[in-house]
Amino acid sequence: MVQELVTIQQKLKAPKGQYNNFGKYKYRSCEDILESVKPILTECECSLVITDDVVQVGNRIYIKATATLTNSKGEQVQTSAMAREDEILKGMASSQVTGACSSYARKYALNGLFCIDDTKDPDATNKHGKDEKQEDEESLNLALELIRNAKTTADLTQIYNECEGFRGNSKFMNALSMRRKEIERR
């Protein structure tokens, strides 16, 4: 499975085929990534399935997208990403908001699986005039909530792996350590 994944990651070129008129920047959508990866999947004899789950964290609802890559031997590798719906619908029907949220989560699950770097993409950083400190605090609070809700040490390992940006944060690391001890005492 590793060889197929490395081949796909090396060959994949997913151009930023979309343009945001409001923010005046180019970005890539989930559909752009899928369009670029499909021929490579055929070449590598792999399949890709993306699923969505609705996850409640505290009083917030998130869409968790999981991208699963399977080779011809049935070996799999997968990655997940989460996105939440805005509380204010900004002129969209609720089904449109959910669809946009799903697309966003799916895009970042694919980014993780195929090592697509969006750090220079305003859509990835989502800093369209928002207070970065508040966003960082919200993200940390989400990670801490996930830790509190973890049932197994495997859950904690997954949280640790998915929250790379908080590994240097003492609050995050202490919460992981304390929750691991609580779970192991059971």
CATH of the domain at 29: 3.30.160
Q: Are both 26 and 71 inside the same structural domain?
A: yes
DSSP 13-47: -----EEETTTTEEE--HHHHHHHHHHHHHHTT-E
- pLDDT of residue 90 exceeding 80, the answer is no
Q: Are both 77 and 157 inside the same structural domain?
A: no
Per residue in 12-32, pLDDT (tens digit) is 988 888 877 766 778 888 999
**Is 125 within the bounds of a domain?**
no
Question: What are the start-end ranges of the E strands in 43-173?
Answer: 47-57, 60-70, 76-84
Helix (H, G, I), strand (E, B) or coil at 186: coil
Angle made by CA atoms 13, 158, 7, in degrees to the nearest 5: 25
Q: Are both 102 and 139 inside the same structural domain?
A: no
**Is 21 within the bounds of a domain?**
yes
- pLDDT of residue 152 exceeding 50, the answer is yes
Compute the mean pLDDT over every residue in the chain, rounded to the nearest whole number: 81
What's the pTM value of the predicted model, to 2 decimals? 0.61
Average pLDDT over residues 39-50: 96
Per residue in 97-143, pLDDT (tens digit) is 778 888 889 999 999 899 887 655 555 545 444 444 555 677 777 88
